[in-house]
Structure 1
Amino acid sequence: MALEEKRKEKVEITHDMLIGDIIQAKPESINKFLQVGMGCIACPSSLYETLDEACMVHGLDPDYMLELLNN
């Protein structure tokens, strides 16, 4: 499947997804991460850190972030 076709599909973000995978699947998520103070786009940890782990490090509610990223 071409990358462009894949981006057209609705991607459901989950708690256990890696930050880097979220950004790759939904590039528009970058703005949402930045809005809450998460500079994940420039962080090397994004390659191996899940959404839940990143939220814990930044003191954010993972359920809130999940809702934000999926809307």
Structure 2
Amino acid sequence: MTVTKDHIIAEVLNHDRTLAPIFMQFGLHCLGCAAANNESIGEAAMVHGIDADALIDALNTYLQSK
């Protein structure tokens, strides 16, 4: 899997739960909230003032290292 800004947060976590700490390191702590089921990574990053590209890079780097 290659994560993009368009992926829904819950879909990414359903693919690999071990990604949760990376989301939290970037300030996305409410991974179980209703918004996570409908909100893309790009949308969440914008709302929370997070660098979406850095988050995507971190997620994909982790996935590639597995």
TM range, normalised to the smaller chain?
Answer: 0.7 to 0.9
Identity percentage of aligned residues:
31
Task: Give the TM-score of the pair, scaled to structure 2.
Answer: 0.84
Gap regions ≥5 residues in structure 2 = 62-66
Q: Which runs of 4+ in 1 moved over 3 A?
A: none
**1:25-62 C-alpha deviation (Å, 9 max, x unpaired):** 12111010111221132221011000100000110111
Gap regions ≥5 residues in structure 1 = 1-10
User: 2:13 touches 2:20 (CA, 8 Å); kept in 1?
Assistant: yes
Aligned to 1:70: 60
Q: Which structure carries more relative contact order (alpha carbon 8 Å, separation 6+)?
A: 2
RMSD: 1.0
Task: Give the TM-score of the pair, scaled to structure 1.
Answer: 0.79
How many correspondences in the alignment?
61
Structure of higher CA gyration radius: 1
1:45 maps to 2:45: no
